[in-house]
Amino acid sequence: MRTVFDDELAERLMRYARIDTQADPTSSTTPSSAKQYDLLNMLVAELEQLGAHALRLTDYGAVLATIPATTTTATPTVAFLAHVDTAPGFNATGVKPIIHRNYDGGEIVLPDDPSAVLSPKSLPYLGTKVGEDIVTASGTTLLGADDKAGVAIIMAMAGHLLRHPEIPHGPIRICFTPDEEIGRGVHPKLPADLQADVAYTLDGAHLGEIVYETFSADAATVKVQGVAIHPGWARGKLVNALHLAAKIIDTLPHATLTPETTDGRQGFIHVHTLTGTAAAAELHFILRDFELEGLRAQGELIQQVCAAVQAGEPRAQISCTITNQYRNMRYWLEHDMRPVELAREACRQVGVEPFSVPVRGGTDGSRLTELGLPTPNLFTGMQEIHGPLEWVSVQDMGRATRMCLKLAELWVGERAEARAAPATPDHTEGTSDRVG
């Protein structure tokens, strides 16, 4: 179904996608990459032109703006968020977005790499989009619909509300964050700066998807200090840190506890970085599970493996640090499902049937919810994210825009709950253990 927002959304997405905003996990700055400001500053200028109020770019790289209430009815302040950064795992430089008008249901061959083919045979959701307008990259980069589709949707919604003050709604807060892809999207100052009672991230996938359950997440950093010596005189003296690092990886379960061997509600341990030399090496893991018990078990397993490898080579020094990243938003939202139920009703009122499934990932909303601001995640249409086959339907984006507009109206007259300090189900913010 086509919407009045389609042309604007396509233009915005393609314009935003051309801007390289890739996050840098090795950087200690905020934002992690200066180039994210290229889009952040553009959004500030566009919101100013639209007439947004209380507009500012914070010192931690978040764009904040207000759309004033158009009703005198006491109404909770609702925030809509999207992140401007793109994932660091695949090329994001030189993105050339392409719009495939009136998709005919066949294969889409991406011109800069003819081996990159979107086919409804392998991508069943694509097969449901016949007649719609599909946006892709050219084959050698990701597209960045994650989450520039969300950015475009929020900007289209903001513009519409500011042009139509006759639409009844309470105070609306707009927020664009950096560094979501590397787990730094929610700065400690953000919840207070948002000044919202409820929030939504536009960072979801399939049409109608309303997410209120995500992974809980920890990170593990393992450091291996070996014994360095010239290899010509190494007999009985060298302790190769890379060999020990490889042994740690090899000892962990591969058949049942990695991303490529799990799905549904199964958690995983994922080693994503190994760096170093024979003298010293460092491994980085992400740990994911829907339940805290499973997440703790994963951390304990890595620590046990490190301890066993350490015991086999006492001349080495091996440390394992487990750090809290975010928690399953369900732990808090299940106590007050109004934000989810109103999102579902907004979907139905624009002709979209809502559904909710546990999502094998997290959003800025996971952390915001944990910090006391209930923040479910809403669909944008983005598909095959973080790689060259990434695509999105403009019409899915249009329906997401209409849903957000309806959602703003549905909150009119709802009661704002007092936001007490959140009761976390896991009081351990992180542990650091040296084994051996």
Q: Which are the catalytic amino acids? A: 85, 180
The number of C-alpha atoms within 13 Å of 125 and in the hemisphere containing its C-beta is 14
| Under 8 Å between Cβ of 372 and 242 | no
- Tokens 């199964």, residue located: 266
Closest alpha carbon to 137 in 19, 23, 18? 18
Question: 372-407 b/e with 16+ CB inside 10 Å = b?
Answer: ebbbbbbbbbbbbbbebbbbbbbbbbbbbbbbbbbb
Cα–Cα distance for residue pair 414/336, rounded to 1 Å = 13
Minimal CA–CA distance to 175: which of 94, 64, 266, 91? Answer: 64
Pairing of strands 78-83, 172-177: parallel
Structure tokens belonging to residue 174: 């707009």
Amino acid at 123: L
Judge contact between 397 and 340, C-beta under 8 A: no
Q: CA-to-CA distance for 291 and 194, rounded, in angstroms?
A: 29
* Contact between residue 222 and residue 303 where contact means Cβ atoms under 8 Å apart: no
Give CA–CA dist 382/146, Å, rounded: 7
- Residue 182 identity (one-letter amino acid): I
The first and second tokens of residue 271, run together, are 């080693």
3-state secondary structure of 281: strand
As a whole number of angstroms, the distance between CA 75 and CA 412 comes to 5
Structure tokens at 146: 């994650």
CB atoms within 10 A of CB 250: 10
Q: Kind of pairing, strands 377-379 and 117-118? A: unpaired
Residue 414: half-sphere exposure toward Cβ, Cα within 13 Å: 23
Specify the length of the chain in residues. 436
Which residues fall within 8 angstroms of residue 226, CB to CB, at 6 or more apart? 238, 239, 240, 241, 242, 244, 278, 279, 280, 281, 316
Task: Report residue 9 as tokens.
Answer: 């959304």
83, 180 in Cβ contact below 8 A? Answer: yes
* CA dist., res. 171 & res. 411, Å (int): 10
- Tokens matching residue 310: 């350490």
